[in-house]
């Protein structure tokens, strides 16, 4: 149970955080017409991309380091509490259908476990030990990357995850929305996207959450580009698990090759629906087993496989 001394200390900490600042000019926002509130909120959100822009060099460096580790078989692990944890879980869950990654390649950890996605788990975010235990359950190794996510940059669970992962030799990234944060300081790559006070005081699911989502999109998407999961801007590793994605697969093969529908159908059938392999059979004029071997030999990079087949990439 939190003591009165701890409560006083935490309140003092919150008073120093930009994300927690009170905006007196919005004190009567509840009296405004709905359209006016929507305009104000939209204007607030429009400031987030500029805040992300200021951190692009740090984000790019973190992505390059992550891609290098993942190219050697490492995993990408997000760790956070509350909104930050949910955003990590969301980004991780979108990688298998988008990039055909295994569920164990990009992982989202939220303080308190899966039930914390919808129900607050008391005390979970305050435990560094819980973060260490969650990472130990994954057997974190040197080729892995752990991203601690916290709007305040002071959440013990996120800091504990970064500290424990770093002690195990893993690459660490700290994503926060305040400057001088303990989370960024604990990580090898600190990313502090300062989005300022929120529309609703302390509701960091708003601008801070939007900023975190944008950065996580960059980390996962650009890492996958670096790993050869795309061909240009085409998602050639998409997993066709429903009718919409099967139609998208055919469209991607068409855009990449310009082939006729019968040729596309034949290529996808021969390669068991693997888009990247189907494209290679068409552009390199090779059979499915040869395409599969070329992609294995080039670590799944389609352009490299095309060059290996003597074709222009």
Q: Return all residues near 97 (Cβ < 8 A) that are at least 6 apart.
A: 238, 239, 241, 245
**């017409």: which residue's tokens?**
33
How far, in Å, CA of 163 to CA of 158, rounded?
Answer: 9
Catalytic residue among 20, 105, 125, 163: 125
Backbone angles phi, psi at 238, to 5 degrees: -60, 140
Angle between helices 261-270 and 243-257 (to 10 degrees): 110
3-state secondary structure (DSSP) of residue 21: coil
Structure tokens at 174: 């700290």
Q: Return all residues near 233 (Cβ < 8 A) that are at least 6 apart.
A: none
88-200-39 Cα angle (round to 5)? 95
Length of the chain: 313
How far, in Å, CA of 313 to CA of 309, rounded?
Answer: 10
Helices (H) and strands (E) in the chain, counts: 14, 5
Q: Return all residues near 169 (Cβ < 8 A) that are at least 6 apart.
A: 141, 142
94 catalytically annotated: yes
The pairs formed by 168-171 with CB atoms below 8 angstroms and a separation of 24 or more are 168/135, 168/140, 168/141, 168/142, 169/141, 169/142, 170/74, 170/140, 170/141, 170/142, 170/143, 170/144, 170/145, 170/146, 171/65, 171/66, 171/69, 171/74, 171/144, 171/145, 171/146
Q: Which residues are catalytic?
A: 94, 125
């Amino acid at each position: 149970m939190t003591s009165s001394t701890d409560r006083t200390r935490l309140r003092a900490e919150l008073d120093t955080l930009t994300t927690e600042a009170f905006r007196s000019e919005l004190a009567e926002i509840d009296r405004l017409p709905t359209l006016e509130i929507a305009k104000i909120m939209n204007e607030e959100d429009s400031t987030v991309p500029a805040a992300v822009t200021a951190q692009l060099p740090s984000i790019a460096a973190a992505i390059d380091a992550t891609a290098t580790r993942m190219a050697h078989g490492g995993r990408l692990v997000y760790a956070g509490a509350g909104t930050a944890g949910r955003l990590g879980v969301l980004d991780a869950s979108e990688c298998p259908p988008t990039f055909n990654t295994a569920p164990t390649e990009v992982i989202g950890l939220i303080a308190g476990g899966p039930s914390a996605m919808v129900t607050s788990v008391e005390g979970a975010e305050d435990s560094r030990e819980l973060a260490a235990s969650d990472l130990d359950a994954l057997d974190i190794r040197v080729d892995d990357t752990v991203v601690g996510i916290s709007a305040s940059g002071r959440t013990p669970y996120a800091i504990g995850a970064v500290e424990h992962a770093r002690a195990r030799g893993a690459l660490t990234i700290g994503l926060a929305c305040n400057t001088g944060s303990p989370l960024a300081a604990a990580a090898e790559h600190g990313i502090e996207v300062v989005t300022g006070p929120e529309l609703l005081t302390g509701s960091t699911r708003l601008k801070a959450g939007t900023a975190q989502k944008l950065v996580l999109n960059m980390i996962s998407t650009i890492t996958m580009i670096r790993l050869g999961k795309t061909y240009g801007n085409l998602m050639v590793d998409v997993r066709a698990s429903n009718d919409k994605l099967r139609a998208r697969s055919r469209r991607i093969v068409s855009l990449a090759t310009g082939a006729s529908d019968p040729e596309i159908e034949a290529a996808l059938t021969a390669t068991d629906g693997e888009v990247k392999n189907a494209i290679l059979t068409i552009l390199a004029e090779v059979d499915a087993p040869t395409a599969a071997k070329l992609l294995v030999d080039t670590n799944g990079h389609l352009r490299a496989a095309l060059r290996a087949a003597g074709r222009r990439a």
